[in-house]
Structure 1
């Protein structure tokens, strides 16, 4: 390379350290510092000194082989040979997304280890793999939401080349790949960004500390930092899209919201490369503007997680009603979500103690991602219980059927497809012992209000907590787990072969239910899904069943007599018009 540059707008002196060299850099009016560095090439380590303090890794470091406190290593992306030049991802509206955590998805916990199980995802019928965050974080194990080197794939997972090999292997098998990125906060250990510039602001706060500076002085460079990061993952690592963590924590009063800028620039990259690129937001706002087009006054994000669908389905199945689940729990709530996207859509929220959200309006269901489980809803429980730990297997099958036949884009979490027995616990590997102790104590205090004792909450820092969270692939072949896997595989196959399930037309969805008898039917074009949530058999009247046939049934003993369905306890059946299977 000809020169090295770094943005440090408020420094008096900046130096580049490389091998035995310490070179004084030259400031520009824009706050960038430059120095000629022809000796910096692929594989060379370097760092920066700022006003005599350091060394600090590069904020835009693409390679941190020694972790968050070590030097940066220069990466030449052109060194990698890709084999996916003809790859074109399937449409998001036809997707079945599989969320996974690299560290617990395989025994080795690496990008290479994940490759070994891709064929099993193909067998299941998955179209899109979604990786939980992989940017460099402290230690060797963690969820990834405490990342500090946002441009560098985690060294313990296999670094830059390992990640590229994984994406390339997915594309060879016909799998699209999405990456979870975190732009609303940084981890507490190894975060040197404040030494470089005003990346944070004290004007706003998030649950994780100071908010990122998206609308204050110098915010144009901070926004550029995040947008360039997104473009890097899509361009240099060939990701097909990004899932953006907790966009409700973006505090931005700019005329052009950060999300709108991000969507615009990703759209430009898609046009330049000829590749279809997607953005999916996690949002607690229930605000349809996030996924409305720019022309309709929105931000232009392709889709967002539908938390109301998860919460409603979870509470109906489990009966839980604490915390944010207080706003949900009835079949009426589930019917509303299935037909109108949000339950809290400009009405009073008991949990928030205020009016929240707004109606989704004309938006199709394909703008929303629905699930029964995800990393948050499992791992943020004190004991990391999956839904399979909370429900009978018959109720699990009902939940899976509603996810796969809903008008939303379905997503499942690793191991869900065979009702994995392993929990997904919260785990960390902070090297700062005071921080590690604080995280452990905070975790215990958080769940004390739920009646769980200190010794019940696994220590996040303990390696055994991490190891317990690894999924056991051999378990998939055991009898009951194999039965659940086959149920998921059949549901996915049905979804993929019925075009009506991809359309997401909310106007084509109708729901009938009986709250006291605990049954519900959802009708979509050419299809009826009938669910009995109760522990007693039910008879449900459904029109036109004589013109339909069973596509899938969760139990034996489900029958249709004229226009009446007879359902055993905790059962579900899917009927389709003859010829549509």
Structure 2
């Protein structure tokens, strides 16, 4: 088989395999590349020695059976025999479900997660969004410290385990989206700098030196990450990728990396004959991120909308610390602004940042599905000191209101695993670093961070403790108990409405006409439908036409009174048909 590697600064490269060492030759047509034909099977272990270094794993390794510091093993994507044909499933009309393989079940594997797919199909989910699955040191972690962007974490099940999971999901009609991290690699097990200029000090990120997207040697680095993205979509039959923190992809070159990536993905979709999409995580509130390339944008197909989350969170909880401060000044107004125009910060002053932030987004030219709306995510839960979910402090009624606002909003809805039954298991920050010094640094850093906000160090969970990960695993028995079972039934009812009522998935969201009363009743329209969520502890009165029909209600609704007012019980929500 052919072994290849890009190592532009090496004077010699030696291939190490189970049967010996093999000097590699420069590739005449590809500057900086080396190649060698040598025997190889799926059981072969191999690595590359650069000049006089010990052998290192292949930067493009598809499998690292012994972890990020071990040698690579070759795989042939063509050997896999898919059981279920898959035409793809596009983003418009989707309902995403963010899932962490390591805590979705106690076992923490693709195989164990497969047994829960019937639950997601019955719920009405269309796409699973897997949190990162690239290898990282140790067994358990969030996955954002991955160091091998082409491979699959072996403790989860490795490449074949992921393929079996995706194939099984397709058998249930579920698409699969993968969260990928292009903006940095983890602090342990990252061997890319030894091979070439993958990173640059010209830009800095929260994780240190930036990925080299615009300096000398950057053409190969850009290709490295683009080819990795295409390999996930092509070889694992994924429907899309979620791109972590794209605002940290520093690129001052003539064309932004994201534009090149989106063009490559669009071209691949055309070749494969099935829809593919990219979802950005971005804190810039810049419409250019999701504006098509011909119109001057980066061409990504959607982005997470944290502004909607922050507005909803403050309206539900009353929290006002940190980045919630501007939203908490008038939660009702903040929530209606995001329902009307997507972004809350659209050039307004951000007290958290100490400056104006964001740009206006035009709903008339931006289809609603290009923004994702959610009440909870791994970030918004896990980056709290105790990893507490909304269910830890909200009543079932307020959780039902959150569900109605997310699932009936104009945006593509996304749930975080367990949210559908109001899971009370926390989702905490956990690691399994094998380097004792790094483990201790992470432990101290986590406690120091929250001590600055008034949390006693002893109250902050130890990321390295196995108990922290175990506490974060879903308790599936919980979903059968009161009040969780009732909330699960409510989610199923709302999702069924979203699938059957065209007004809830129309790309046109210019006529939502959201309102919020001083006593915390939020309403908005989707065509002939009126969505109402009463967040207060007192009943709310809604003027409605006499022909109004209740499609769904968290609590039983009395008929409108003689004045034409519908009395919405405290902490409850309803979806009403007022016309059409």
Q: TM-score range by the shorter chain?
A: over 0.9
2:495 is matched with: 492
- Structure 1 pair 558–394 and aligned structure 2 pair: CA distance change class (3 A): farther
1:148 is matched with: 147
User: Post-superposition shift, 1:474?
Assistant: 1.4
2:526 is matched with: 524
2: distance between equivalents of 1:371 and 1:171?
24
SS at match of 1:94: coil
2:576 is matched with: 575
1:226 is matched with: 225
State whether residues 131 and 179 of structure 2, in contact with CA within 8 Å, keep that contact through their aligned partners in structure 1. yes
1: distance between equivalents of 2:389 and 2:560?
33
Root-mean-square deviation (Å): 1.3
1:511 is matched with: 514
SS at match of 2:497: helix
Compare 322-331 and 19-28 and name the one that shifted more. Answer: 19-28
1: distance between equivalents of 2:435 and 2:575?
53
2: distance between equivalents of 1:321 and 1:504?
32
2:114 is matched with: 115
State whether residues 89 and 175 of structure 1, in contact with CA within 8 Å, keep that contact through their aligned partners in structure 2. no
2: distance between equivalents of 1:13 and 1:50?
6
Deviations 1:333-361 (A, max 9, x none): 11110011000001111111111110111
1:66 is matched with: 66
SS at match of 1:36: strand
Deviations 1:367-386 (A, max 9, x none): 10000001000000010001
User: Post-superposition shift, 1:20?
Assistant: 3.8
User: Post-superposition shift, 1:80?
Assistant: 1.2
1:432 is matched with: 435
State whether residues 89 and 239 of structure 2, in contact with CA within 8 Å, keep that contact through their aligned partners in structure 1. no
1:406-485 to 2 correspondence within 5 Å? Answer: 406-485=409-488
User: Post-superposition shift, 1:302?
Assistant: 0.7
User: Post-superposition shift, 1:31?
Assistant: 4.1
SS at match of 1:531: strand
2:366 is matched with: 363
SS at match of 2:384: coil
2: distance between equivalents of 1:425 and 1:247?
24
Deviations 1:183-220 (A, max 9, x none): 00000010010000110010111111111000111100
State whether residues 166 and 237 of structure 2, in contact with CA within 8 Å, keep that contact through their aligned partners in structure 1. yes
SS at match of 1:151: coil
User: Post-superposition shift, 1:537?
Assistant: 1.8
User: Post-superposition shift, 1:241?
Assistant: 0.6
Unaligned 5+ segments in structure 1 are none
TM-score by length of 2: 0.97
User: Post-superposition shift, 1:577?
Assistant: 4.2
- Structure 1 pair 104–425 and aligned structure 2 pair: CA distance change class (3 A): same
SS at match of 2:285: coil
User: Post-superposition shift, 1:408?
Assistant: 0.1
2: distance between equivalents of 1:43 and 1:506?
54
1:192-271 to 2 correspondence within 5 Å? Answer: 192-271=191-270
1: distance between equivalents of 2:128 and 2:523?
30
User: Post-superposition shift, 1:540?
Assistant: 2.6
2:282 is matched with: 283
TM-score by length of 1: 0.97
User: Post-superposition shift, 1:390?
Assistant: 2.2
1: distance between equivalents of 2:491 and 2:12?
59
2: distance between equivalents of 1:157 and 1:192?
22
User: Post-superposition shift, 1:478?
Assistant: 0.8
2:382 is matched with: 379
2:77 is matched with: 77
User: Post-superposition shift, 1:37?
Assistant: 2.3
2:543 is matched with: 541
Deviations 1:26-58 (A, max 9, x none): 224644343432302322110111121122101
SS at match of 2:151: strand
User: Post-superposition shift, 1:228?
Assistant: 0.3
SS at match of 2:92: helix
1: distance between equivalents of 2:459 and 2:558?
42
State whether residues 7 and 34 of structure 2, in contact with CA within 8 Å, keep that contact through their aligned partners in structure 1. no
Unaligned 5+ segments in structure 2 are none
User: Post-superposition shift, 1:558?
Assistant: 4.8
Residues matched between the structures, number? 574
State whether residues 102 and 111 of structure 1, in contact with CA within 8 Å, keep that contact through their aligned partners in structure 2. yes
Compare 29-38 and 353-362 and name the one that shifted more. Answer: 29-38
State whether residues 8 and 31 of structure 1, in contact with CA within 8 Å, keep that contact through their aligned partners in structure 2. no
